[in-house]
């Protein structure tokens, strides 16, 4: 019974912490809205003469909100056509606009549609696989090098596609797994493939080139895709592939695109929000070490601060007051001009029953908020102080 109550309390505190962190991030975003007015999501059009395709190819690069040309970004390559690209752009913007979001801020590259000879109706060309070898050649040898030369990028790339355009994601995973860190195929048109790809994936054998490569496959509402989906799932699931399979056949076909992307990103970047209990014994330094290793994996700086906050409140729940305070105090000391961490330290003291220390911390927060002319923080601190 005690364990159950503690578990419920921990969940409440964790969700409260996440809410406050999200609120703080949003307030910070609003505070800089005017400054960033001209830095919204921006589409840049490119073209070059492709030697591989023997044609001029045109494609869009979508720079994220607040893009900084001196900063590196991971890249999301998408096969999205014109009818979906806007939705994808703003969905990824939403999922990455605060630190606790399920994915990092990314540059988006919209893959070009290549002209290939085919007797098929144009809408079936992508799904058939007839253009896949040429598309992969252009992507690997021309487009990716162009992007890496033109923009500052981390060597962390994700490829995603939906419906008929999702079949290429499967082909790239089979043929060049080392090219991307993640492959997301949302409700691909499995039954429309004419290249034998689905049969090959149903027999694909795991090898080292698939190590640390995330594969995501979802099923939409088209019934003829279901047995093919199950064949691929059955084969890959019994091997060492890092794969996730989701059946969305009960949902509207159009809904699956956004559902799949969110779910895929949450699982691809799941290690950014680790289980806090694993750090309880070794404490703050183990969290910092974990995120240092994670930063090396993603080749970009990933802050441990959100997890350090969670660890502090974890200690509160299990009555380890000294550890709770020292963990939060570390954040306050590391960010002396940040009112948010002072608010969290005050809350820790309050939950531990140390009302006077909570009061003093809130007063410290009022002084800092006044100094920074931060009206939102000032209102918060005064409101909390009035409750003590």
CA atoms within 13 A on the CB side of 345: 26
Rounded to the nearest integer, the mean pLDDT of the chain is: 90
Region 235-250 average pLDDT? 98
Lowest mean pLDDT among 7-21, 203-217, 276-290: 7-21
The predicted structure's pLDDT at residue 4: 42
DSSP 8-state symbol, 114:
P
Q: For the chain, give the percent of residues with pLDDT over 90.
A: 81
Q: How many other C-beta atoms are found inside a 10 Å radius of the C-beta of residue 107?
A: 22
Residue 148 has pLDDT above 70, yes or no: yes
Between CA 96 and CA 103 the distance in angstroms is 5
Between CA 148 and CA 130 the distance in angstroms is 27
Between CA 287 and CA 290 the distance in angstroms is 5
Q: Has this prediction a pTM greater than 0.95?
A: no
The predicted structure's pLDDT at residue 39: 56
Question: Torsions phi, psi of 138, nearest 5?
Answer: -65, -45
Closest Cα partner for 169 from 203, 147, 198, 194?
198
The predicted structure's pLDDT at residue 27: 43
The predicted structure's pLDDT at residue 297: 86
Sign of CA dihedral 307, 313, 315, 321: positive
Grade residue 165 by pLDDT with cuts at 50, 70 and 90. Answer: very high
Q: Specify the higher pLDDT residue, 8 or 323.
A: 323
Give 287's contacts (C-beta < 8 A, 6+ positions apart). 279, 304, 307, 308, 311
The predicted structure's pLDDT at residue 20: 53
Question: Torsions phi, psi of 21, nearest 5?
Answer: -65, -40
Cα separations in angstroms, 115 against 129, 134, 165, 167, 355: 13, 10, 15, 17, 70
What does CATH list as the number for 2-31+283-387? 1.25.40.10
Question: Torsions phi, psi of 277, nearest 5?
Answer: -55, -30
The predicted structure's pLDDT at residue 121: 79
Domain ranges for the chain, please list them.
2-31+283-387, 38-272
Region 120-148 average pLDDT? 93
Q: At 190, list the tokens.
A: 């499995």
Region 49-77 average pLDDT? 95
Structure confidence by residue, pLDDT tens digits, 185-209: 999 999 999 999 999 999 999 999 9
Between CA 18 and CA 36 the distance in angstroms is 25
Residue 34 has pLDDT above 50, yes or no: no
The predicted structure's pLDDT at residue 3: 42
Residue 167 has pLDDT above 60, yes or no: yes
* Choices 3.40.50.1820, 2.130.10.10, 3.40.50.2020, 1.10.10.10: CATH for 38-272: 3.40.50.1820
Tokens 């503690």 belong to residue: 6
Structure confidence by residue, pLDDT tens digits, 48-62: 999 999 999 999 999
Lowest mean pLDDT among 269-273, 274-278, 332-336, 373-377: 269-273
Between CA 367 and CA 386 the distance in angstroms is 16
Between CA 26 and CA 34 the distance in angstroms is 14
The predicted structure's pLDDT at residue 217: 99
Between CA 253 and CA 201 the distance in angstroms is 23
Q: At 364, list the tokens.
A: 């410290």
Q: At 353, list the tokens.
A: 């029953």
């Amino acid at each position: 019974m005690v364990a159950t109550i503690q578990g419920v309390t921990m969940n409440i505190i964790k969700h409260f912490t996440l809410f406050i962190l999200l609120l703080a991030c949003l307030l910070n975003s609003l505070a800089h809205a005017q400054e960033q007015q001209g830095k919204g999501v921006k589409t840049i059009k490119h073209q070059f003469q492709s030697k591989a395709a023997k044609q001029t190819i045109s494609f869009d690069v979508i720079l994220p909100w607040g893009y900084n040309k001196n900063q590196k970004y991971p890249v999301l390559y998408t096969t999205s056509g014109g009818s979906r690209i806007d939705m994808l752009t703003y969905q990824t913007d939403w999922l990455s606009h605060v630190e606790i979001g399920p994915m990092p801020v990314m540059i988006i590259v919209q893959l070009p549609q290549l002209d290939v000879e085919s007797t098929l109706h144009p809408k079936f060309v992508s799904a058939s696989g007839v253009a896949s070898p040429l598309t992969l050649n252009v992507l690997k040898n021309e487009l990716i090098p162009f992007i890496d030369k033109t923009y500052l990028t981390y060597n962390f790339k994700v490829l995603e596609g939906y419906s008929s355009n999702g079949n290429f994601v499967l082909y790239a995973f089979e043929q060049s797994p080392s090219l991307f860190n993640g492959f997301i195929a949302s409700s691909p048109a499995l039954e429309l493939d004419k290249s034998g790809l689905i049969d090959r994936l149903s027999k694909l054998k795991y090898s080292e080139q698939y190590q640390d490569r995330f594969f995501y496959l979802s099923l939409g509402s088209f019934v003829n895709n279901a047995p093919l989906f199950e064949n691929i799932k059955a084969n890959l699931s019994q091997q060492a592939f890092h794969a996730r399979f989701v059946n969305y056949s009960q949902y509207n076909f159009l809904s699956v695109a956004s559902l799949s992307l969110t779910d895929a990103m949450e699982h691809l970047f799941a290690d950014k929000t680790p289980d806090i209990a694993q750090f309880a014994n070794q404490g703050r330094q183990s969290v910092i070490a974990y995120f240092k290793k994670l930063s090396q994996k993603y080749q970009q700086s990933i802050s441990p601060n959100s997890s350090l906050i969670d660890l502090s409140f974890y200690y509160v729940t299990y009555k380890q007051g000294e550890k709770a305070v020292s963990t939060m105090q570390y954040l306050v000391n590391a960010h002396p001009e940040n009112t948010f961490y002072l608010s969290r330290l005050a809350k820790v003291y309050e939950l531990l029953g140390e009302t006077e220390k909570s009061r003093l911390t809130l007063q410290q927060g009022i002084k800092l908020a006044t100094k920074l002319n931060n009206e939102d923080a000032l209102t918060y601190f005064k409101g909390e102080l009035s409750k003590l």
